[in-house]
Amino acid sequence: MRFVSIIVLLLAVLNSCCTKSGVLLRSGGTLSAAERQNIVAVHPAFALCSPSESALWVRHGVTNHVCIREGGIGSLTMPYDVFVFDGDGSVMEANFIQAPNPSTPKAVVGISPLQVAYERLDGETVVVGVEYSQEIARHEIQKQMDLQQKIGDAVAAWKRSGSTNFAEVHQMIENVITNSQR
């Protein structure tokens, strides 16, 4: 009888977090010490990274931790950093997703390749995959994070200068972007 109770409890838990189309994402989340250490190895700027959404993807006895982080300001699309960790905290995937804007990440629908369902304001669900192959993604992450760091440094220098001229900081940011494209 105890075995049946455990099975019923397990089915109830699975039913609460899974849908027919994937595993529901939950707001927020934390990284384990091993995950944090391994994501910092991808780029030091991830030291303070916290997921905006996360999920545990369990298939065939293997558990993967999927973390999504809003990547900045979007226009037609919204950038998200996406990470998949294995059970030991190793980074299996570090990539980007460009989702429709505005939309909300709802569920992980595939892990290899990573696919995430986003719900648009009109209620339509759109499934979006990663932007780059795994081989290219690490290089692109390095470029993006380096660019963000340089922009942050430019803004910090502008603030330290005491200037209130927004055109000046705008030009500084444009220069950083232009120089990064060379």
pLDDT for 119-156, tens place per residue?
Answer: 999 999 999 998 877 778 777 877 877 888 888 888 99
Give CA–CA dist 38/40, Å, rounded: 5
Number of structural domains found in the chain: 2
- Report CA torsion sign: 25, 29, 32, 34: positive
DSSP 50: -
Whether 60 is in a domain gets the answer: yes
Helix (H) or strand (E) holding 72: none
Q: What is the DSSP string of 32-56?
A: -HHHHHHHHHH-GGGGG---SEEEE
- The SS3 call for residue 100 is strand
* Residue 59 shares a structural domain with residue 81: yes
* Residue 139 shares a structural domain with residue 125: no
| Residue 5: band (very low, low, confident or very high) from pLDDT cuts 50, 70, 90 | very low
Whether 97 is in a domain gets the answer: yes
- Report CA torsion sign: 53, 61, 128, 119: negative
Give CA–CA dist 117/105, Å, rounded: 6
Residue 107 carries which side chain, given as an amino acid letter?
A: A
Strand-pairing partners, residue 84, are: 66, 93
Q: Is the pTM of this model over 0.75?
A: no
> Mind listing the pLDDT tens digit for each residue in 41-99?
988 888 888 999 999 999 999 999 999 998 777 778 888 999 999 999 999 999 999 99
Of the candidates 131, 148, 165, which is a domain's last residue? Answer: 131
Please check whether residue 76 is in contact with residue 126, taking contact to mean a CB–CB distance below 8 angstroms. no
Structural domain range at position 69: 20-131
Q: Is the peptide bond before 113 cis (omega within 30 degrees of 0)?
A: yes
Q: How far apart are the first and last CA of the chain?
A: 68
